[in-house]
Amino acid sequence: MEFTRSVLDHSEKNDFIRISDRPPRNDIIFRALLFCLLHNTFALSSQRRQSVPPSDPQTCLQTSSPNFDLLARYKDSPSSTVPVKVIDVNTVPKVTFSVLSSCVTCSSNWAYNTLVNGGILPKSTSNPNLQCVSLSLLEGESPTFVTRQYPPPPYPGYCMTANVIDSTGPLVLAGNGRSDLWSLCPNSTASGRVDVVWSPKENHAHYLKSNCRDVYLERV
């Protein structure tokens, strides 16, 4: 198997490839390794490693929540919001990778999200048999999802916490115990597509930290 484009430089809609037989175990491991290498990480996605210790963790109020969407609210302009959604960014045989993005022109196969025991499972109404799960949440990267017939257990690092901007407002999404590290960053390798990034960092291959805007992700 060979593919040379980064999973973050492709914003076109991809068709899923359905399979009927369980893929070999070594095929799963190889794809996971390749995906992590493309993101310039040094941890296997199966390790589900938390990159930034939650120095001031918020209390998780809910680790499960059915049928919700996400709305990004800018910290520097609380009256301004933009919807965010899971979009597919790369499909290789039998596997599709996705990220969380505010791209308004990108189509999405996922009508809504569910939160189950800390893992996010996007859902498709047109094809309810598709199985998409949260894959990883690393410092400086977009929340990543994978779709395949036999997906790994969802990465369980998400929960809903209190809204710090509006105490009477909707709950907000936290990643690795923090709801205050989300940003929207223009992706310079994907025609400026604005993706959600957790804890942006300097010298990243896909964005400039100075161009990112901090947000909270509200459940709606």
Encode pLDDT of 193-218 as tens digits.
999 999 999 999 999 999 999 999 99
Q: How far is CA 127 from CA 19, 132, 145, in A?
A: 14, 11, 17
* Residue whose C-alpha is closest to residue 193's, from 27, 82, 46, 48: 82
Q: Provide the residue type at 106 as one letter.
A: C
Return the exposure string of 105-144: e unless at least 16 CB atoms fall within 10 Å of the residue's CB, then b: ebeebbeebebbebbbbbbbeeeeebbbbbbbbbbbbbbb
Residues constituting the chain:
220
pLDDT digits (tens, 9 = 90+) for 167-196: 899 999 999 999 999 999 999 999 999 999
The boundaries of the domain holding residue 160 are: 25-48+59-219
Residue 54: inside a domain, yes or no?
no
| Residue 172: strand pairing partners | 161, 218
Q: Is residue 113 part of a domain?
A: yes
In a domain, 158, yes or no: yes
DSSP letter at 37 equals H
Is the residue at 114 inside a domain?
yes
> What's the domain count of the chain?
1
Residue 11 counted as domain residue: no
pLDDT at 50: 43
Please give the model's pTM, rounded to 2 decimal places. Answer: 0.77
In a domain, 5, yes or no: no
| Positions of the chain with pLDDT under 70 | 1-57
Residue 1 inside a domain? The answer is no
Would residue 73 count as lying in a domain?
Answer: yes
